[in-house]
Chains A and B, each alone.
Chain A
Amino acid sequence: MSKQILISDPTLRDGNHAVRHQITKESFAAYCAAADRAGVPIVEVGHGNGLGASSMLVGECLLTDETILRTARENLPRSKMAIHAIPGFCTIQRHLTMAVELGVDVIRVASHCTEADITQRHIDFARKNGKEVYGVLMMSHMASPEMLADEARKMEAYGAEALVIMDSAGAYLPADVSRRIGTLVDALGIPVGFHAHNNLGMGIANSVAAVEAGATIIDGSARGFGAGAGNAQLEVLVAVFKQMGYETGIDLYKMLDAADLAEKQMIQSMPYISSTSIVSGMSGVFSGFIKQVNSIGAEHGVDPRDIFFELGRRNAVAGQESLILEVALGLKAVKALAGAACA
C-alpha cells in the first residue's frame, strides 16, 4: 500500500506575513528555484492574504501580484505554482484571470470556516479554466467538526478537488485535529489536507495526527516561515514523514538546502513561539494579527496580550485588522478610567 503525502509549500505566501509582505523578487526567484530542485510538488506564492489582498487593511505588498507570479513561474520549471485566493479580496476579473494567464496551476480558494458559500464562483472559474482548485477553510477551530464538514461539502459541490483546513490561529491540539480530519475524510469524496500553525508548539504533531486520521495533503514552510509563530517546519515534516514510511517525492538533502537558503535569503527573524503567539493561540485569534497588535499596543500603551484576549472574545476574523485599533483604544480608555478612579 503506497503511503503518499502531497506537500504544499506556502513559504512564499504565509512567510510573507512574517515580513509584512516585503519578500523581494530575488528571494522569490531563489527559493522557487531551490524548492523546484528539491522536488517540492506545489509552491504557493503571494501576499500573505492571497491574490489581490495587497491593501492598507492587511498590508501592502512590496511587489505586485503580477511580478510575483511571473518571477515564480520562471523559477518553477517542474513544480506546480499555487495561489491563495479569498473572495472579498480577490476578484475573478481583475485577479484570477491574470493568474490563469500567468500560468498558475493550483488555485486554493479560501473562506472563513463558516462562509464557504462565497467561494462558489471562484471555484467554478478555476475549474472552467482547467486549473486544479482546492477549497480552503480558514480559522477552522471556530466551527465544530460537523459544521466544518457541512461547509466543506459546499466547496466539494462547487467543484473543489481537495479540501484543506487551516489552523490559522495555531489553536489545535492533536486530538482536535484527528477528530476534525476524521470527520472530513468520512464526509467527503475528495482528498483532505491540513495547514498547521505552531503557536502551541504543535505544528509537527498536528500534521502527523492529520495524516494518521486520513489527510493526504500537508502544508509546511521552510523553517516554519509563516504568520505568527510560523507553520509546521517543512524540512522537519519531510524528515518525519520519511521516518514514518511516507513518500513525499521530496529530496531530503535538497529540501534542507532550500531551507538553509530561505534562512539566509529572506528570513529576518526565525519563527519562534513568542509570548504573544502563545496568547493568540490560546485565544484562537488569527496569527497574522501579531505585528499589528504589537505595534498598536506599543503605540497606545496597551498590553498586546489583553488586546488578543479581547479580540478572541469578539470572535475577530482575518481582515478585521481595523478592529485592533478600536479594541486598543477601548482598553486604553478603560485603563484611564480605572486610573482616574484610583487617583
Chain B
Amino acid sequence: MPEAIERSLRQDCHASLDILPGLSARLSGHRIAVIGGTGFIGSWLAETVTALNDDLGCKVRIDLLSRHAAAWLAAHPHLDREDVAVQSVDARSPFELARDTTLVLFAAGYADPRMHASNPHQVFETTVHGLGHALAVASRLELLQRFVNISSGLVLGDVPGDQAMSETRIGALDFTRFHNVYAEARRAGESLVAAYSGQYRIPASTARAFTFIGPYQALDAPWALNNFMRDALSGNDIRIHGDGTTRRGYLYGSDAAAWLLKLLLDGKDGEVYNLGGAEPASHSDVAAHVAALTTPTPRLVHMSKPGLAGRNHDFFPDLQHTHSDLGVRAAVPVLSAIERSMQWHARRLGVTRRLREDVASR
C-alpha cells in the first residue's frame, strides 16, 4: 500500500484515539482476539493497534481469526507484524484462542445482502454457530475480561425509521423469510450471548453496528454509498434509487475501532451499545459529496419513483447510551470519511485520475 495512504490511515487512528486519552496505557498488556478478524472491523483494529504500539508506547497484541487469513496478509503486507497475528480459522467449527487472551471480539458474519439472498444457510451458521464456538472457547479463558459481540442495528426490525434508533425500541421481524436471515441470526446471536452470560457468567457486552464507512470496505458490497463511489470512480453518472431522502448515520473505521477498544475495556455486562454515526446524512447529500470529489463531476441521476406511501427507510442510531456510558465521540467527520474512502478505492482501482486533483494529492 502506498505510503501516503498508510500515513493517512495512521493519522486517522490517532485522531480517533486522541479523544480517548489514557486508552493506550490501559490497553497495554492486553491480548485481543477478533473472530472474523480480516473484515472491516478487524482491519481497522489492526491499524489502530499498530498506531498504539508504534507511536503511543502501548504494548497490546491482536489476533485476527479468519478463513481469509492468507489472502488478507498478502493484500496488506504492512500489517504483517509481530503484534498482529493472523490465524486461519473457520468459526463454524470449534477453535482455540491463545491462553493469555484478555479481550474477545466476535466480528464474524456476512452483512452483504447478496450473501443473504444466495447463501442464507451459511449466513446463519457463521453468525450463530460461530458465535457459539467463540463463547465456548472464551468461557475457558482464565484471563477473560470482556467478550463483545458485534451485532447489527437491523435486529431492531420494523421500527419507524424517521428517528434515531435507541437500543431498546425493538420491533417485529418476519423471520419466516430467508431474506431476513441476517437480522434474525443476529437476534439469535444476542440471545445466545444473554444465555451464556446468565448461565456461565461470561462478562459480555453487545455492540450494534449501523453503517460503517472507510477503507477496508469492499467497494462492491451493495450499500448506497459504495454504489455512489463505484459509479463515480467508474466514470459513470451517480445513480440514486428512490428520492434520495433516505438517511444513514456513518461511522468511520478508525472511530469504530477506537470505540470498540473502549467498549472492550469498559463495557458493562449485559449492556447493548449502538455503534454508528449519529448525524444522519441523506443519500442525495452523500452522493453530492462523492460527485464533488470526482473529476469530471458526474451527474446525479434519480432512478425509480419515491417509495409507496412515503415509507421511511432511515437507519441511524441514537448514541446517548453509548456516549454516556463509554464517553466516546466520533473524531472523523463524514466528509473526511468519504474523501478517505474515495482515495483508498481510487488507488486500489488505479483510477486516481478520477479524483479531483487536490483530493488525489492529499
| Chain A interface residues toward B at CB < 8 A | 114, 117, 144, 146-147, 150, 154
Q: From B198, B199, B201, B270, give the contact of A144 (CB < 8 A).
A: B270
Who on chain B is nearest to A116 by CB?
B198
Cα–Cα, bound, A144→B205 (Å): 14
In addition to A144-B268, A154-B198, 9 A-B residue pairs with Cβ atoms within 8 Å of each other are A114-B201, A117-B199, A144-B269, A144-B270, A146-B270, A147-B269, A147-B270, A150-B198, A150-B270
Q: Which residues does chain B contribute within 8 Å of A144, judged by CB atoms?
A: 268-270
User: What are the residues of chain B within 8 A of A154 when measuring CB–CB?
Assistant: 198
List the B side residues contacting A114 at CB < 8 Å. 201
Q: How far is the CB of B191 from chain A (nearest CB, A)?
A: 13
CA distance A181 to B198 in the complex (A): 20
Q: Which residues of A contact B199 (CB under 8 A)?
A: 117
A-B contacts, 11 listed (Cβ < 8 Å): A114-B201, A117-B199, A144-B268, A144-B269, A144-B270, A146-B270, A147-B269, A147-B270, A150-B198, A150-B270, A154-B198
Closest residue of chain B to A117 (Cβ to Cβ) is: B199
Q: How does the 8 Å CB contact mask read for B201-213 relative to A, with 1 for contact and 0 for none?
A: 1000000000000
How long is the Cα–Cα vector from A144 to B271 in the complex, in angstroms?
10
With a cutoff of 8 Å between Cβ atoms, the chain A residues found around residue B198 in the complex are 150, 154
Residues on B with beta carbons closer than 8 Å to the beta carbon of A117: 199
Distance from B32 Cβ to chain A, minimum over Cβ atoms (Å)? 25
In Å, the complex CA distance between A154 and B201 comes to 14
Residues of B within 8 Å of A147, CB to CB, are 269-270
Docked complex Cα distance between A146 and B272 (Å): 12
Chain B 220-277 interface residues, beta-carbon cutoff 8 Å to A: 268-270
List of B residues within 8 angstroms of A150 by Cβ = 198, 270
Question: Beta-carbon contacts of B185-199 to A below 8 Å, as 1s and 0s?
Answer: 000000000000011
| Nearest CB of chain A from residue B184's CB, rounded to whole Å | 23
Nearest 3 interchain pairs by C-beta: A150-B198, A147-B270, A146-B270
> For B270, what are the chain A residues with a Cβ–Cβ distance below 8 Å?
144, 146-147, 150
CA distance A117 to B201 in the complex (A): 11
Taken together as a complex, chains A and B put the C-alpha atoms of A114 and B269 apart, in Å, by 12
CB distance from B147 to the nearest CB of A (A): 16
What is the distance, in angstroms, from A182's C-beta to the closest C-beta of chain B? Answer: 16
How many angstroms between the C-alpha atoms of A117 and B269 in the bound complex?
A: 18
What is the chain A residue whose CB lies nearest that of B269? A147
Chain A residue, CB-CB nearest to B199: A117
Rounded to whole angstroms, the CA-CA distance of A287 and B268 in the bound complex is: 27
A140 CB to closest chain B CB (Å) equals 15
Residue of A nearest to B198 (CB): A150
Residue of chain A at shortest CB distance from B194: A150
- From residue B285, how far is it (CB to closest CB) to chain A in Å? 38
Which B residue sits closest to A153, measured CB to CB? Answer: B198
Min CB distance, A21 to chain B, in Å? 31
Q: B248 → chain A, closest Cβ, in Å?
A: 30
Q: How far is the CB of B202 from chain A (nearest CB, A)?
A: 12
Residue of A nearest to B268 (CB): A144
Q: How far is the CA of A154 from the CA of B269 in the complex (A)?
A: 17
Residue with the greatest number of chain A CB neighbours at <10 A, chosen from B198, B199, B270: B198
Residues of A within 8 A of B268 (CB): 144
Cβ distance A86 to chain B, nearest Cβ, rounded Å: 19
| Chain A residues positioned under 8 Å from B201 (CB to CB) | 114
Residue of B nearest to A146 (CB): B270
Question: How far, in angstroms, from A90 to B199 measured CA to CA in the complex?
Answer: 22
How many whole Å from A156's CB to the nearest CB in chain B? 14
CA distance A147 to B198 in the complex (A): 9
Task: Give the CA-CA distance A147 to B269 in the complex, in Å.
Answer: 8
Instruction: Name the residue on B nearest A154 (C-beta).
Output: B198
| Distance in Å: Cβ of B267 to nearest Cβ of chain A | 12
Return B266 CB to nearest CB of chain A, in Å: 14
Q: How far is the CA of A146 from the CA of B197 in the complex (A)?
A: 13
CA distance A117 to B270 in the complex (A): 17
Q: Which residue of chain B lies nearest to A143 when distances are taken between CB atoms in the complex?
A: B269
Point out the residues of chain B lying under 8 angstroms from A146, CB to CB: 270
A26, B269: Cα distance in complex, Å? 49
- In angstroms, how far is the closest chain A Cβ from the Cβ of B270? 6
User: How far apart are the CA atoms of A144 and B268 in the complex, in Å?
Assistant: 9
B195 shortest CB reach to chain A, Å: 11
Report A180 CB to chain B, min CB distance, Å: 15
Q: How far is the CA of A150 from the CA of B198 in the complex (A)?
A: 8
A186 CB to closest chain B CB, in angstroms? 13
B170 to chain A, nearest CB (A): 15
| Docked complex Cα distance between A62 and B269 (Å) | 42
Residue of B nearest to A151 (CB): B198
Distance in angstroms from B25 CB to nearest chain A CB is: 21
A150's closest neighbor in chain B, by CB? B198
A184 to chain B, nearest CB (A): 15
| Contacting residues of chain B (261-308) with chain A, CB-CB under 8 angstroms | 268-270
- CB B113 to nearest CB in A, in angstroms, measures 33
Distance in Å from the Cβ of B203 to the closest Cβ of chain A? 11
Q: Which residue of A lies closest to B201 (CB)?
A: A114
Q: How far is the CA of A317 from the CA of B198 in the complex (A)?
A: 19
User: Which of B156-208 touch A at CB < 8 Å?
Assistant: 198-199, 201
Closest CB-CB distance, A108 to chain B, in whole Å?
A: 23
The smallest beta-carbon distance between B204 and chain A, in angstroms, is: 12
Return chain A residues, CB-CB under 8 Å to B269: 144, 147
C-alpha spacing A144/B270, complex, angstroms: 10
User: How far in angstroms is the closest Cβ of chain A from B155?
Assistant: 18
**Smallest CB separation, B150 vs chain A (Å):** 21
